[in-house]
């Protein structure tokens, strides 16, 4: 048994932490919780709660999922941005909001090579210094983006030699959608990343293609690179669905952010085609749940598109708190996995979908990284290309599977998906880091 004093102290830095509603928040929450369960003293350094209300929207119920043993230190993030009281706006901001923004971005860039977030570096470093002075930090993990989350790790490592881990949810210099490099190799941000990767204890990536890209770009550090896939959180999903009574209409579901790059129109047209052809789908419903777009304001284009398919039994049920995700899946008989094309994008929902054991119509380009995650899943029905016809065939196949599914077939699928559980991804890394920190202490 490790005594309170001997517990290794992890400083975990994440801009997005509950009650943020960003997709990246779930990884941060799960990682912090996993470390504290493993017996670490965990301090999370994050933004104040109002930050998310102002900028990206929040999911207040998720705060209840933070392990109470975690110390959460919140520091303000750019309070001016998002201030809606016009009376307090400066003359410059009213004269030209672009000029005002540009001037702030220049100041921000001078502090850290990342637009819009750089000004957070100093407050983060001051907070890290304070935390380290009160209780020496044994390990820092920064999770990005934003990449300014790496600043405390950089600071404590340079000043005190504190080991650190770089956790990339996306990538700093790889556009995961286009596959192209972002910025020049000589650029300041690239030099900083190279230096961070050279000094870090480990660097984590969400899938093998992103890890490989980094290994080819930064071969000097490649032996420290690991894949820590997103996985699903058993605290939010994983319950079994009750079987729908025979002959009652099937309900297909989509749960996730509904936004520009996903082939939404093709999916809806494919649905309409499938309903016309497959008798199982004649009375079936398709329910979309999740945010319309990434920002607090709903994406009207996506909203209008969904509305235009209302006569095809398509409905939009609004966003879902993460705490309600499990219940939401219980309403569905089959799932549509609609994601954008990229060999670097896995998406978080693919793991959640697999955890349900339901038939999945995979409506995305086969090149997408999610294809590999579902390889071997007993009831995946992939489209061979991105168009309404191919999507329709996948949906028809999933409909037949849904109509014929049994508690056993769903149970088998859930059992297959057990290896995708988030803790299964994190545990080996936590054990390895404990070993590294332990040997350092000895």
Partner 1 sequence: MKNVLLLIGGVPNSSAGATLSGETSYLGALLHDHVGGFELSVVSLGFARDVAVVSRNIVLDRSRLSLVDRALHAMGARALYARLATFPLGRLINSIGPLDQGRVFWRHVRRDSSALAALKNADVVVAADLAAVKTAWIAAKRGWCTHAEYDTRAYGLGISFAVKDAD
Interface residue list for partner 1 (CB under 8 A): 53-58, 81-82, 84-87, 89, 94-99, 102, 292-293, 295-301, 303, 307, 317-321, 324
Nearest approach, Cβ of residue 298 and partner 1 (Å): 6
Angle between helices 151-160 and 188-199 (to 10 degrees): 60
3-state secondary structure (DSSP) of residue 377: coil
Nearest approach, Cβ of residue 93 and partner 1 (Å): 8
Nearest approach, Cβ of residue 22 and partner 1 (Å): 12
Nearest approach, Cβ of residue 36 and partner 1 (Å): 27
Give 93's contacts (C-beta < 8 A, 6+ positions apart): 100
Q: Sheet harboring 164-168: ordered strands across? A: 71-75, 41-47, 9-13, 139-144, 164-168, 202-205, 225-227
Give 3's contacts (C-beta < 8 A, 6+ positions apart): none
- Beta-bridged to residue 43, according to DSSP, are 11, 71
H or E stretch covering 142: strand 139-144
Nearest approach, Cβ of residue 322 and partner 1 (Å): 9
3 or 304: CB nearest partner 1: 304
Nearest approach, Cβ of residue 46 and partner 1 (Å): 18
> DSSP characters for 10-37?
EEEE-SS-TTB-STHHHHHHHHHHHHHH
Closest CA to 210 of 184, 176, 242, 237: 176
CB atoms within 10 A of CB 103: 13
Nearest approach, Cβ of residue 304 and partner 1 (Å): 8
140 or 292: CB nearest partner 1: 292
Nearest approach, Cβ of residue 115 and partner 1 (Å): 12
Q: Rounded to the nearest 5 degrees, what angle is found at the Cα of 68, between the Cα atoms of 64 and 69? A: 155
* Cα-based distances in Å from 215 to 189, 194, 260, 381, 432: 18, 11, 30, 33, 20
84 or 216: CB nearest partner 1: 84
326 or 425: CB nearest partner 1: 326
- Give the span between the Cα atoms of 397 and 6, in whole angstroms: 56
82 or 372: CB nearest partner 1: 82
Nearest approach, Cβ of residue 144 and partner 1 (Å): 18
99 or 276: CB nearest partner 1: 99
- Give the span between the Cα atoms of 259 and 275, in whole angstroms: 24
68 or 87: CB nearest partner 1: 87
195 or 327: CB nearest partner 1: 327
Length reported for the chain: 442
71 or 321: CB nearest partner 1: 321
Token digits for 288? Answer: 């979309």
Nearest approach, Cβ of residue 352 and partner 1 (Å): 16
CB atoms within 10 A of CB 136: 11
208 or 299: CB nearest partner 1: 299
- Give the span between the Cα atoms of 243 and 406, in whole angstroms: 7
């Amino acid at each position: 048994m490790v005594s309170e004093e001997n517990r290794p102290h992890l400083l975990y830095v994440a801009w997005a932490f509950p009650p943020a509603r960003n997709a990246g928040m779930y990884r941060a929450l799960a990682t912090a919780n996993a470390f504290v369960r493993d017996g670490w003293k965990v301090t999370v350094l994050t933004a104040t709660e109002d930050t998310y209300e102002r900028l990206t929207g929040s999911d207040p119920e998720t705060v209840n999922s933070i392990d109470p043993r975690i110390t959460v230190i919140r520091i303000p993030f750019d309070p001016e941005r998002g201030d809606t009281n016009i009376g307090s706006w400066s003359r410059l901001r009213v004269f030209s909001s672009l000029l005002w923004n540009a001037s702030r971005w220049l100041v921000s860039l001078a502090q850290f090579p990342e637009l819009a977030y750089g000004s957070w570096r100093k407050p983060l470093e001051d907070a890290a210094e304070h935390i380290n002075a009160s209780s020496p930090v044994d390990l820092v993990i920064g999770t990005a983006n934003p990449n300014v989350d790496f600043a405390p790790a950089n600071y404590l490592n340079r000043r005190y030699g504190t080991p650190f881990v770089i956790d990339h949810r996306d990538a700093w210099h790889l556009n995961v959608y286009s596959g192209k490099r972002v910025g020049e190799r000589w650029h300041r941000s690239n030099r900083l990343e190279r230096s961070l990767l050279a000094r870090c204890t480990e660097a984590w990536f969400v899938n093998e293609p992103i890890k490989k890209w980094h290994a080819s770009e930064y071969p000097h550090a490649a032996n420290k690179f690991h894949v820590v896939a997103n996985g699903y959180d058993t605290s939010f999903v994983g319950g079994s669905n009750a079987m729908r009574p025979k002959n009652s209409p099937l309900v297909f579901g989509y749960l996730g952010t509904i936004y520009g790059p996903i082939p939404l129109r093709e999916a809806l047209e494919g649905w309409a085609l499938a309903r016309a052809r497959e008798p199982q789908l004649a009375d079936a419903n398709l329910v979309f749940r999740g945010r319309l777009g990434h920002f607090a304001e709903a994406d009207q284009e996506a909203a209008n598109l969904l509305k235009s398919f209302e006569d095809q039994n398509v409905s939009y049920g609004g966003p879902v708190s993460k705490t309600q995700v499990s219940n939401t899946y219980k309403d569905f008989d089959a799932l549509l996995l609609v994601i954008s094309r990229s060999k670097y994008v896995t998406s978080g929902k693919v793991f959640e979908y697999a955890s349900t054991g339901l038939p999945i119509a995979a409506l995305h380009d086969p090149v997408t990284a999610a294809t590999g995650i579902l390889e071997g899943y007993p009831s995946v029905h992939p489209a061979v290309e991105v168009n309404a016809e191919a999507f329709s065939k996948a949906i028809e196949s999933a409909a037949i599977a849904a109509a014929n599914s049994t508690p056993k077939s769903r149970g088998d699928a859930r059992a297959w998906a057990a290896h995708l559980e988030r803790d299964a991804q994190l545990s080996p890394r936590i054990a390895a880091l404990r070993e590294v920190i332990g040997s350092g202490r000895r």
